[in-house]
Chain A
Amino acid sequence: MIRPALAILRKDLRLELRTRESVPAMALFSVTVFVLFHFGLHRDEVAGAMASGVLWVTLLLAAVLGVNRLFAGEREGRALDGILLAPIDRTAVYLAKASGLFLYLVLLELIAVPAFAILLLGPGIGGAFPELIPILLLADVGLAGVGALVSGLAAESRARDVVVPLLLLPLLVPLLIAAARATEPLLTSHAGPHQLAKWLGFIGVYDTVFLLLAVAVFDYLLED
């Protein structure tokens, strides 16, 4: 199961390297949303809960773009049938798509978090490290797991671009709550008490539940 998954992942990454359709679009989109927040909130600097909310909502919205494009290669080239004809476990497709999305999200954050620190953040991003890294990574696992499932769900539907955000964003609300709450004290200049362990634990539970669930049901999406 691992080798076919790696093969599909390699194919997706090569495709992304050559076409550059997902990650640059996500990064550009996140910077645009920061600019929108600057004007929408009428603020030059944000801190604390506001900063954490702006950052996470932007990342979630940018993730929607990636999720929308996740099966685009297969769809446009009608390549899914080929993958389904190959004698491999269907779960490999899910694992490949989820890890691809995970890598896209990490790349996105490498651009979006510094951009956020420069454009909007008041207190300076230095104080947020290293705690911010496990939060981002754990949240990315959940985002990627749920995102790949939703992408598979919407792949066959006619109203795909409507279904993805409508389905994905409510599913991510628990993740948003935990990630934003965990990040909030890190973006304040005089940080209060942390509850980092509690929120990280919750994100871990969320990731586990949805990954197991997605692995269990994803096969049925590709069954023909």
Chain B
Amino acid sequence: MTSRPLYGKGLRALSIATALVLTAATALIFFYAPLDADQGVIQKIFYVHVPMAIVALCGFVAGGLMAIQHLRTGDRAWDMRSYVAIHLSIVFGVGVLITGSIWAKRSWGHWWVWDEPVLVSFLIVFLLYCCYQPLRFAISDPERQGRYAAVFAIAAGAFVPINFVAVRMAVQQVHPRVLSETGGHLPGDMRLTFLVALAGVALLFATLWKLELTSKNASDQLRRLRARLEATPPGEAPAEAPPAPVGVS
């Protein structure tokens, strides 16, 4: 009937894979990875904090790439994908800032440290992306909304690396560099745990992304069906729900 499937294909397989990898990651974090010599148990938050940060940043940049695709093809499906990716990355970003603060409090004694480029850059990027939704929903025309949001997503996606360079140039290094050119100074078992945790968080992001897209597509389709129902026999269908504006979560 319609070109878009109502339920996300492969969503179940993706969810199962996510659950398995996240369980494995949890097991590895608590039973396999060694305790850090000077930080103790608080260091384990690293396996949540860093993967979330990496996934959120990749999500922001991916949102920009999908926005380019939207502008090139004019297909609203790409706009939806970009929107959901950025929206989820903001949610993950809240998690990054909270876990980062907890970690900073335990290991440096302060909730927030300014001389740490990665955390500061992340805050700036996060603040910028917090404007995405206000900007988007302040525009009423859905087609224009998609285009403006795409322009924002592209500019902000390009901003992410520039900002990291600028803050890094400005601040001295105290943050542990996890993925430096040499592969960091993680011992092998910590490294394995970290990579599994990263895969788990990335899968979680993908699952949530697909889930939200599926639900948006389903409600979109429902709305179209309902509109058609209201249109065909006058006075027969008990039209109750007003059509929600497109794109509002």
Contacts and interface: CB of A to CB of B under 8 A. Distances in A.
Contacts, number: 88
A167 B128 contact: yes
B139 A158 contact: yes
Given A153-B135, A157-B138, A221-B151, A170 B71 contact: no
A2 interface: no
B112 interface: no
B139 A162 contact: no
A interface bracket (residues with beta carbon within 8 Å of B): 20 to 34
B155 interface: yes
A157 B147 contact: no
Contacts of A198: 169
A157 B166 contact: no
Interface string A34-71: 00000000000000000000000000000000000000
Contact of A223 (B147, B154, B159, B166): B147
A202 to B, nearest CB: 7
B148 interface: yes
A14 B124 CA distance: 38
B147 A170 contact: no
B158 interface: yes
Interface stretch (A19-27, A81-89, A103-111, A206-214): A206-214
A177 B170 contact: yes
Given A158-B138, A170-B128, A213 B155 contact: yes
A217 B159 CA distance: 14
A118 to B, nearest CB: 29
B221 interface: no
B46 interface: no
Interface in B114-138: 124-125, 127-128, 130-131, 134-135, 138
A217 B151 contact: yes
Contact of B134 (A166, A205, A213): A166
B94 interface: no
Given A170-B127, A171-B155, A174-B163, A157 B148 contact: yes
Contacts of A154: 135
A37 B241 CA distance: 54
B166 A202 contact: yes
Contact of A202 (B131, B156, B169): B169
Given A154-B135, A157-B138, A158-B140, A220 B162 contact: no
* Dominant secondary structure of chain A at its interface with chain B: helix
Contacts of A15: none
A154 B148 CA distance: 9
B12 interface: no
A205 B169 CA distance: 14
A170 to B, nearest CB: 4
Contacts of B167: 173-174, 177
A159 B156 CA distance: 19
Nearest to B166: A174
Nearest to B136: A157
A90 interface: no
A181 B170 contact: yes
B144 interface: yes
A177 B151 CA distance: 25
**A-B pairs, 3 with minimum CB distance:** A174-B166, A170-B128, A157-B138
Interface of B: 71, 124-125, 127-128, 130-131, 134-135, 138-140, 144, 147-148, 150-152, 154-156, 158-159, 162-163, 165-167, 169-170
Interface of A: 149, 153-154, 156-160, 162-163, 166-167, 170-171, 173-174, 177-178, 181, 198, 202, 205-206, 209-210, 213-214, 217-218, 220-221, 223-224
Given A149-B151, A202-B166, A220-B147, 10 more contacts: A158-B138, A160-B138, A166-B130, A167-B131, A174-B163, A202-B169, A209-B158, A213-B158, A217-B154, A224-B144
24 contacts: A149-B155, A153-B151, A154-B135, A156-B139, A156-B144, A157-B135, A157-B138, A162-B134, A166-B130, A166-B134, A171-B156, A173-B124, A173-B163, A173-B166, A174-B159, A174-B166, A205-B162, A206-B166, A210-B155, A210-B158, A213-B155, A220-B147, A220-B151, A223-B147
